[in-house]
Amino acid sequence: MTDDQLLRYSRHILLDEIGIEGQERLLASHALVVGAGGLGSPALLYLAAAGVGRITLVDDDTVDLTNLQRQIAHTSARVGQSKVASASQAMLQINDGVQLTALQQRADAALLEVLVPDADVVLDCSDNYVTRQAINAACVRHARPLVAGAVIRFDAQVTVVDQRSAHTACYACLFPPGAHFEEVACATLGVFAPLVGVVGALQAAEALKLLAGVGTSLAGRLYLLDGRSMEWSSMRTERDPSCPVCGHHA
């Protein structure tokens, strides 16, 4: 670790649970983040600031004026740019020592099959059910820890899927892939801006804990936030033996 790195990450190094060894693990790690919008913005900025050595970000969208109410990695000047290019610029302004790979692509099953095995942790910051299921399936298949978050209106949730832990539920155990429901979006129902910051920061915290080997993750728990009352609740989750995605791993 260089003198500059020792100074930059000194507040992490001062933590007994992290120290120099934990920070070196972060510097040597690779995080894959799918989605550079409301959740991805704070998650990506914190991962870069914390010194995660390699970060791959995937998003096929461009910055729109309506994004700026909550997607803090982007600016008015970057409206029309790809979200991955805009977010990369914001991350490098915080920490130019991070190695970034920015992919303006949709995270379909074929792309995830390439990217997930090379990652040490995956953050699902996407905004649609199909992509969430594809990310979960790839992480289960390759035994990569997944930090999944979602926000709509005043409601938020975050959990960790870690198939390295016995009996831990995957995303499909909680939300069956074949379920028929009407897809909801911020464009029609709205979203309370600070909640994506809260959940995105939590996703970054869980990812950093997993990478540094610190504390206990949210694996086996679904963390829920009601933004109207600012009340948190936690649900215990268990692997479904009949789950079409992870059941055969039980």
Domain limits, the chain: 3-249
Q: Are 74 and 83 a contacting pair, CB within 8 Å?
A: yes
Q: What is the pLDDT of residue 178?
A: 77
Q: What is the pLDDT of residue 4?
A: 96
pLDDT digits (tens, 9 = 90+) for 128-174: 999 999 999 999 999 999 999 999 999 999 999 998 877 789 999 99
Interior angle at CA 123, CA 220 and CA 130, nearest 5: 90
How large is the C-alpha radius of gyration of the chain?
Answer: 17
Weakly modelled stretches of the chain, pLDDT under 70: 180-187, 248-250
Q: What is the pLDDT of residue 3?
A: 96
- In 25-142, beta strands by DSSP E: 30-34, 54-58, 99-103, 121-124
Fold classified for 3-249: Rossmann fold (3.40.50)
Entry pTM: 0.95
* Catalytic residue of the set 125, 173, 186, 243: 186
Single-letter amino acid code for the residue at 214: V
Q: What is the pLDDT of residue 187?
A: 67
Query: Torsions phi, psi of 56, nearest 5?
Result: -105, 125
170 carries an active-site annotation: no
Q: What is the pLDDT of residue 250?
A: 44
Separation between Cα atoms, residue 164 and residue 172, nearest integer Å? 16
